């Protein structure tokens, strides 16, 4: 199992979005620069959310103007509507923007209306408009929520998720993140869904975005890898999930912890391109940023000695 995986670090956006206290612009820049130096190939840097709704990212343009970029990395911003893409375009065209954006959709009607304030049909129309406005500036990522279960509607028919992935592809979006929004996936359901989408939409690159709400996140990542997935989203310390004002999902909706994900895959012999010597220092910096112990295990125990062939 030596094939390299692509890890996207989500702490600076998904991780901070959940925090009630505003993190300074300087600290956000320091975080992103540390992620870059680690060699992470994809970094979720910010969101173009309405600052009145998500004030944490009112400094999106300033952060992007100050970070130090690697030429071989992709820096991503989240865009929920056309206005967000227009803001992204303005920064991009001024030479300080991102080279990847994510466009949001939900697999269920109820979650779409709750989370995006639009019906599914309305949001798909928005996505078409966003794709048109984005042009060829970015790598486009379709971000599909509640793909393994919905807190409002329960089980989600896999065929609906397949159809949504095909719909992304028809709009020219070749990368789709499957979000397990409240941690309802199991290794069996992951294997089945990834295999089904792979057959129905073979040109789509699937991205595993699992929340560790019920302690199944890493197991689901391994199942996704076994089903052919090589792209994974994670966040240092398992930080993130939902905006602080959203309370569904039992209130514990954090992501898979980056340090645990990388430790696991490297111990399995799967390369991640990440600087292991600096990994835990960055995890410690993320804890310091939020001022509390986070949920990652590897920062407490250290990296597996099996990664480097050590014996004790």
Predicted confidence at residue 311, as pLDDT, reads 39
In a domain, 311, yes or no: no
Distance CA 202, CA 312 (A): 44
Q: What is the pTM of this model?
A: 0.95
Nearest to 171 by CA among 126, 207, 206: 126
Q: What is the pLDDT along the chain (312 residues), one digit of tens a residue?
A: 558 999 999 999 999 987 889 999 999 999 999 999 999 999 999 999 999 988 999 999 999 999 999 999 999 999 999 999 999 999 999 999 999 999 999 999 999 999 899 999 999 999 999 999 999 999 999 999 999 999 899 999 999 999 999 999 999 999 999 999 889 999 999 999 999 999 999 999 999 999 998 899 999 999 999 999 999 999 999 998 655 455 555 555 689 999 999 999 999 999 999 999 999 999 999 999 999 999 999 999 999 998 975 533
Distance CA 98, CA 93 (A): 10
Residue 215 is part of which domain span?
Answer: 6-301
In a domain, 280, yes or no: yes
In a domain, 114, yes or no: yes
Residues in Cβ contact with 15 at an 8 Å cutoff, skipping those fewer than 6 apart: 235, 236, 237, 239, 240, 255, 286
pLDDT (tens digit, 9 = 90+) per residue, 218-243? 999 999 999 999 999 999 999 986 55
β pairing state of 175-180 and 6-9: unpaired
pLDDT (tens digit, 9 = 90+) per residue, 188-224? 999 999 999 999 999 999 999 999 988 999 999 999 9
In a domain, 171, yes or no: yes
In a domain, 261, yes or no: yes
In a domain, 310, yes or no: no
In a domain, 72, yes or no: yes
Tell me the sheet residues that pair with 105. 144
In a domain, 28, yes or no: yes
Task: Provide Rg for the chain, Cα atoms.
Answer: 18
CATH at 296: 3.20.20.70
Distance CA 181, CA 173 (A): 21
Strands, E, within the chain: which ranges? 6-9, 42-47, 74-79, 100-106, 139-145, 175-180, 205-210, 231-234
Number of domains in the chain: 1
């Amino acid at each position: 199992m030596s094939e390299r995986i692509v890890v996207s670090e989500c702490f600076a956006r998904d991780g901070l979005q959940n925090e009630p206290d505003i993190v300074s612009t300087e600290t956000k820049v320091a975080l992103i620069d540390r992620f870059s130096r680690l060699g992470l190939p994809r970094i979720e840097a910010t969101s173009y959310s309405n600052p009145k709704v998500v004030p944490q990212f009112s400094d999106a343009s300033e952060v992007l103007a100050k970070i130090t970029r690697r030429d071989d990395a992709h820096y991503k911003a989240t865009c929920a509507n056309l206005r967000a893409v227009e803001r992204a375009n303005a920064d991009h065209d001024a030479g300080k923007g991102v080279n990847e954006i994510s466009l949001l959709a939900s697999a269920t009607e109820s979650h779409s209306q709750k989370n995006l304030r639009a019906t599914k049909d309305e949001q798909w129309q928005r996505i078409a408009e966003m794709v048109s406005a984005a042009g060829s500036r970015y790598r486009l990522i379709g971000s599909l929520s509640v793909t393994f279960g919905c807190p409002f509607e329960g089980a989600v028919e896999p065929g609906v998720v397949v159809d949504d992935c095909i719909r992304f592809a028809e709009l020219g979006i070749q990368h789709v993140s499957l979000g397990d929004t409240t941690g309802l996936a199991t290794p069996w359901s992951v294997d089945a869904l990834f295999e089904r989408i792979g057959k129905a939409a073979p040109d789509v690159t699937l991205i595993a975005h699992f929340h560790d709400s019920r302690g199944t996140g890493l197991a689901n990542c391994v199942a996704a890898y076994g089903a052919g997935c090589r792209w994974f989203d994670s966040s240092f310390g398992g930080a993130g999930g939902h905006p602080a004002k959203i309370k569904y999902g039992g209130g514990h909706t954090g992501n898979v912890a980056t340090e645990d994900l990388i430790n696991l895959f490297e111990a399995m012999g799967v390369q991640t391109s990440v600087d292991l010597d600096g990994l835990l220092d960055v995890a410690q910096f993320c804890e310091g940023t939020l001022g509390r112990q986070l949920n990652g295990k590897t920062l407490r125990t250290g990296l597996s000695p099996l990664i480097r062939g050590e014996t004790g």
